[in-house]
């Protein structure tokens, strides 16, 4: 276990070093996402007429935007890490580590989660200031639901990462996932039962209940929380299984260390 803690600590330090060294690039990415939010907000206000968005519609828009950002970053952390390591020729070195590849990716995702959480908080605060809305920021209630929600995008990231090992260049398809994630956040999973099985959709509804409607974790209920994690873990296991199949295919063809 001490070796695993060393692994996690190393990835946290690397994430912090990246953020400091490439702060200008990180800031530029956040500004780009803020401009995207302004465009979304302007489009919704244009559709709703001169009065603009009213009531919890604006708040739901802000929460949905924040969720889309977090899900997008989580999905990209897995798929882009695998792609970058393959591109630079260091992917095989990760497989040669004394830790299994699953532990290495787990440490990488955990470190990235902390960085993404800070950026999510900043962007959410700026979006709230821009729209003049007030959300229920109850971290004790939001954090476990948020973690359960992000398991689905993690599974998608592993699928895309596995396909990258085999087909190498699939950027045109990975870009489409960004728009798919918008749909997963927006679907009314709280009203349509089968939509709860979609990656991240059930959790998105629970996050809206907490942040927009002021529900607590106790009001969400242990049953809904257990269902959220069951769905999320199922998506994660499915995504990792697809990745392992693609990994075996890449190894059998001698493609793992080549891009």
Among 80, 256, 236, which Cα is nearest to 171's? 80
Predicted local confidence at residue 155, as pLDDT: 92
**At residue 28, does pLDDT exceed 50?**
yes
Among 118, 107, 142, which Cα is nearest to 215's? 142
Among 78, 88, 107, which Cα is nearest to 14's? 107
- Per-residue pLDDT band for 228 (boundaries 50, 70, 90) equals very high
**Could you give the CA distance from residue 167 to residue 177 in angstroms, rounded to a whole number?**
17
Predicted local confidence at residue 56, as pLDDT: 55
What is the arithmetic mean of pLDDT over 111-119? 86
Q: What are the residue ranges spanned by the domains of the chain?
A: 2-252
**Could you give the CA distance from residue 77 to residue 154 in angstroms, rounded to a whole number?**
8
Express as a percent the part of the chain with pLDDT over 90: 22
Predicted local confidence at residue 257, as pLDDT: 59
- Per-residue pLDDT band for 251 (boundaries 50, 70, 90) equals confident
CA distances from 41 to 68, 69, 205, 242, 254 (A): 14, 15, 20, 37, 48
DSSP 137: -
Contact between residue 8 and residue 111 where contact means Cβ atoms under 8 Å apart: yes
pTM: 0.85
**Could you give the CA distance from residue 227 to residue 154 in angstroms, rounded to a whole number?**
17
CA distances from 123 to 29, 89, 116, 143, 174 (A): 11, 34, 10, 16, 23
Predicted local confidence at residue 1, as pLDDT: 60
What is the arithmetic mean of pLDDT over 171-184? 83
**Could you give the CA distance from residue 198 to residue 178 in angstroms, rounded to a whole number?**
15
Among 234, 235, 236, 246, which Cα is nearest to 91's? 246
Contacts of 105 (CB under 8 A, 6+ apart): 78, 81
Longest dimension (CA), the chain: 61
Contact between residue 135 and residue 62 where contact means Cβ atoms under 8 Å apart: yes
- Per-residue pLDDT band for 137 (boundaries 50, 70, 90) equals confident
Q: Which has more pLDDT, 86 or 149?
A: 149
Q: Which has more pLDDT, 47 or 158?
A: 158
Predicted local confidence at residue 255, as pLDDT: 67
């Amino acid at each position: 276990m001490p070796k695993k803690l060393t692994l996690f600590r190393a990835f946290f330090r690397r994430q912090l070093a990246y953020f400091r060294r490439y702060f200008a690039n990180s800031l530029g990415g956040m500004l780009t996402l803020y401009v995207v939010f302004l465009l979304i907000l302007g489009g919704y206000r244009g559709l709703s007429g001169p009065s603009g968005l009213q009531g919890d519609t604006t708040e739901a828009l802000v929460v949905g935007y924040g969720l889309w950002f977090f899900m997008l970053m989580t999905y990209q952390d897995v798929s882009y890490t695998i792609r970058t390591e393959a591109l630079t020729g260091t992917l095989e070195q990760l497989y040669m580590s004394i830790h299994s590849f699953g532990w290495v990716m787990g440490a990488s995702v955990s470190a990235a989660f902390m960085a993404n959480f800070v950026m999510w908080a900043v962007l959410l605060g700026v979006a709230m200031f821009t729209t003049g809305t007030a959300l229920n920021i109850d971290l004790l209630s939001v954090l476990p639901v948020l973690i359960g929600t992000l398991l689905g995008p993690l599974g998608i990231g592993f699928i895309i990462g596995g396909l990258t090992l085999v087909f190498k260049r699939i950027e045109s398809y990975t870009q489409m996932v960004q728009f798919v994630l918008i749909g997963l956040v927006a679907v009314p999973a709280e009203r349509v039962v089968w939509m709860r099985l979609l990656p991240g959709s059930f959790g998105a509804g629970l996050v809206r209940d907490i942040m927009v409607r002021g529900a607590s974790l106790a009001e969400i209920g242990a049953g809904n929380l257990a269902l959220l994690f069951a769905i999320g873990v199922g998506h994660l296991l499915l995504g990792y299984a697809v990745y392992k199949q693609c990994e075996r295919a890449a190894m059998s063809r001698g493609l793992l260390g080549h891009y």
